[in-house]
Amino acid sequence: MKKNLEQPTSSDGDLFQKALEGVIPIAPSDRVAPSPPARRVPAAKIARPSPVITDNLSDHNSSDVAPTSFVRTGLNSMTLRKLRRGQWPVQDTIDLHGSTSEEARRFLLEFLHHARDNGLRCVNVIHGKGWRAEGGEGILKIRVRHWLTQHPQVLAFCEAPANAGGGGAVWVLLKSAGKAD
C-alpha cells in the first residue's frame, strides 16, 4: 500500500493532545519535593577547622549493644518518628569505614562541628555494621552511636533505612543554628 504524500501527518504532540481531550487533571498533593541527593564526604577529606574542637566524648559506660535510636530528654517521640520518615532531608554524609576508633571520633567531632557551622539539621553518619569474631556488633557502630548520645548538638538519631545504609548508618537530627548549647 502506498502512503499518500499529499495529506499532512499528525505530529506526536497533536496526537497526544487529542488523546487527552476531556481529561481532568488531578489536584496537586501536599507532598514535599525531593531534595537533591546529599554529597558523600569521605572522612579523610573533611577540612580541618581552625578553632580547636573540644573532645568531651567518652567511651565509658558504652554497652556491647548499639542503640537503634535516641531522643534527647525533653523532646517528644514524634521527633523520632518524623526523622525516621525523612521529614528532615539528609543534607550531608560522612563515611567512617576503615577508620580506627580514635580517627572516627575525631572525624565525627569535626563533621558535627562543620554541620553546625553550616546550619545543617540532618546528616547521615555511616559507620558500617562491623564484624566481631564472637558474633557481636562492630566496635565502631557501638562507639559512634554512644558518642552521638553525648554530643550536645545531637537532638535525636535513628537507624537509616536500608537504601541509606541500614544498620550500618544513622540519620542524626541536629539543633538548629539559632539554638544555644
pLDDT at 110: 92
pLDDT tens, residue by residue, 34-55: 777 766 666 555 555 555 666 6
Q: Answer yes or no: is 19 within a domain.
A: no
Q: Please, are residues 174 and 122 in contact by the beta-carbon 8 Å criterion?
A: yes
Q: Count structural domains, the chain.
A: 1
pLDDT at 115: 92
From 10-24, 53-67, 98-112, the region with the lowest mean pLDDT: 53-67
Q: Answer yes or no: is 108 within a domain.
A: yes
- The more confident residue out of 134 and 121 is 121
Q: Does residue 136 have a pLDDT over 60?
A: yes
The CA-based angle 91-107-38, given to 5 degrees, is 15
Q: Answer yes or no: is 68 within a domain.
A: yes
Q: Answer yes or no: is 154 within a domain.
A: yes
Q: What is the number of residues in the chain?
A: 181
Q: Answer yes or no: is 119 within a domain.
A: yes
* CA dist 57 → 37, 46, 139, 150 (Å): 30, 19, 15, 6
Of the candidates 143, 81, 75, the one whose C-alpha atom is nearest the C-alpha of residue 107 is: 143
Q: Answer yes or no: is 2 within a domain.
A: no
Kindly report the number of other CB atoms within 10 A of residue 169's CB atom.
26
pLDDT at 90: 92
What's the CA dihedral at 109, 111, 114, 116 to 10 degrees? -70
Q: Answer yes or no: is 74 within a domain.
A: yes
Distance CA 154, CA 143 (A): 15
Domain containing 105 equals 39-45+56-174
Averaged confidence pLDDT in the chain: 80
Q: Which residues pair with residue 154 across a beta bridge?
A: 174
Average pLDDT over residues 69-89: 90
Q: Answer yes or no: is 22 within a domain.
A: no
Domain containing residue 163: CATH number? 3.30.1370.110
